Structure 1
Amino acid sequence: MASTAAALHILVKHKEQAEEIINQLKKGAKFQVLAKKHSLCPSGKRGGDLGEFRRGQMVPQFDKACFTGELLTPQLVKTKFGWHVVKVLYRT
């Protein structure tokens, strides 16, 4: 079972906006560009890069997505902060 993961994310307030971002990604938009443009998280300035983190460091819904979701496929996650578009890069 993986104990660390690395991910990119884009945080927005509304589900519709998160879904639109996923559609743009499917059409070939660059994750980092969209993160810089839309993300409400300070990580947006780094293209949404959260770096590597340990299991249990993030809020539960986000943690679950990062440790059980598909790799490299943008997914939608709702937390107390808003809606996240999450792209898990790898797990170790």
Structure 2
Amino acid sequence: MAKTAAALHIIVKEEKLALDLLEQIKNGADFGKLAKKHSICPSGKRGGDLGEFRQGQMVPAFDKVVFSCPVLEPTGPLHTQFGYHIIKVLYRKLIARPSPRRRP
């Protein structure tokens, strides 16, 4: 079985801004609107939507948080080489890996 997740995120360069954005989100601000306005990631144009991805596709620190934090609860800031992330996991699921085909 492989693990997959879908998440939104916002990346900014300053930790102070990340903390401020996280506080705004926890107080009811729209994650997508803040992502469009502040995120330095190209996904910001899509409201921070990263789509669905498999465990191991993202940088290790990001991957670890996404596959362990509570679903639908804004989390962060997480510092990586890209900046400070605010993350909101939309869902996680297990998918069956395709069986290798056997030759007759």
TM-score, normalised with respect to structure 2: 0.85
Query: What whole-Å deviation, never above 9, does each CA across 1:7-58 have from its counterpart, x for those lacking one?
Result: 0000000111000001111221000000000000000000000000000000
The equivalent of 2:81 in structure 1 is 80
- Tell me the C-alpha RMSD between the 2 structures: 1.1
Using a 3 Å threshold, how does the CA distance of structure 1 residues 2 and 24 change in structure 2: closer, same or farther?
Answer: farther
**Greater Rg over alpha carbons, structure:** 2
How far is the alpha carbon of 1:4 from its aligned partner?
0.2
**Amino acid in the other structure paired with 2:86:** V
Across the two proteins, how many residue pairs are aligned to each other?
A: 92
The equivalent of 2:12 in structure 1 is 12
Matches of 1:61 and 1:89, distance apart in 2: 18
How far is the alpha carbon of 1:86 from its aligned partner?
0.2
How far is the alpha carbon of 1:84 from its aligned partner?
0.3
How far is the alpha carbon of 1:2 from its aligned partner?
6.0
Matches of 1:20 and 1:2, distance apart in 2: 35
Structure 2 unpaired stretches of 5+: 94-104
TM-score, normalised with respect to structure 1: 0.96
Matches of 1:27 and 1:6, distance apart in 2: 22
Matches of 1:15 and 1:2, distance apart in 2: 33
Instruction: Give the percent of matched residue pairs that are identical in Structure 1 and Structure 2.
Output: 62
Matches of 1:11 and 1:25, distance apart in 2: 14
The equivalent of 1:34 in structure 2 is 34
The equivalent of 1:55 in structure 2 is 55
